[in-house]
Amino acid sequence: MSRIGKLPLSIPEKVEVKMSGNVVTVKGPMGQLEQKLESDIKVKVDGSTAYVERPTEQKRHKALHGLYRSLLANMLEGVSKGYRTEQEVVGVGYRAVAKGQQLHLTLGMSHEIIFELPKELKLETTAEKGKNPTIILKSADKQLIGQVAAKIRSMRKPEPYKGKGIKFVNEQLRRKAGKAAGK
């Protein structure tokens, strides 16, 4: 059996899980998420515990068993606690400003980048004197928040010599020494 797939999922208080056909809906205080399942995989809810079941021992079913259990666990955590990611904008003159659902980035290019965020995300930016500007994203959907954070980071990846660019907070960058001094 799949080591991950066979683990039971505990459903937190104030969270409800519904199965309708092959769509799982998870509703909680932070929002509502849906996930379409493969027709073979079933989710069984028993009180405050949920189980993901597969019909056979085929390799494909084993892979889907663990995948859907992980996705369901992420959904349960997202609607109960939520997810948060923080990114730092490192560089002289680099700025990040939130205006509603738009992120305005000044990253040393000839123009300002305006990034439109999905409505499911909440955006905050902080800019304290002496510290790098920070972009904070909050959401119940782990997949969406990771995808948007990666897209923002790709606007200006950190370079290896000075570390300028957009990086995750607490991300360890691989730095290079640069040119060796004369003879």
Summarised one tens digit per residue, pLDDT across range 102-125 is 999 999 999 999 999 999 999 999
What pTM does this model have? 0.88
Residue 173 CA, distance from chain mean position: 20
Domains of the chain: 9-80 (3.90.930.12), 83-168 (3.90.930.12)
User: pLDDT at position 74, please?
Assistant: 96
Confidence grade of residue 4 (pLDDT, cut at 50, 70, 90): confident
Give the pLDDT confidence of 140-166 residue by residue, as tens digits.
999 999 999 999 999 999 999 999 999
Give the pLDDT confidence of 56-76 residue by residue, as tens digits.
989 999 889 999 999 999 999
The encoded tokens of residue 121 equal 């995300």
Q: Are 47 and 19 spatial neighbours (Cβ–Cβ below 8 Å)?
A: no
Q: What residues form DSSP beta bridges with 96?
A: 105
Confidence grade of residue 2 (pLDDT, cut at 50, 70, 90): low
- Distances, alpha carbon 150 to alpha carbons 92, 99, 142, 169, in Å: 22, 20, 12, 13
User: pLDDT at position 52, please?
Assistant: 92
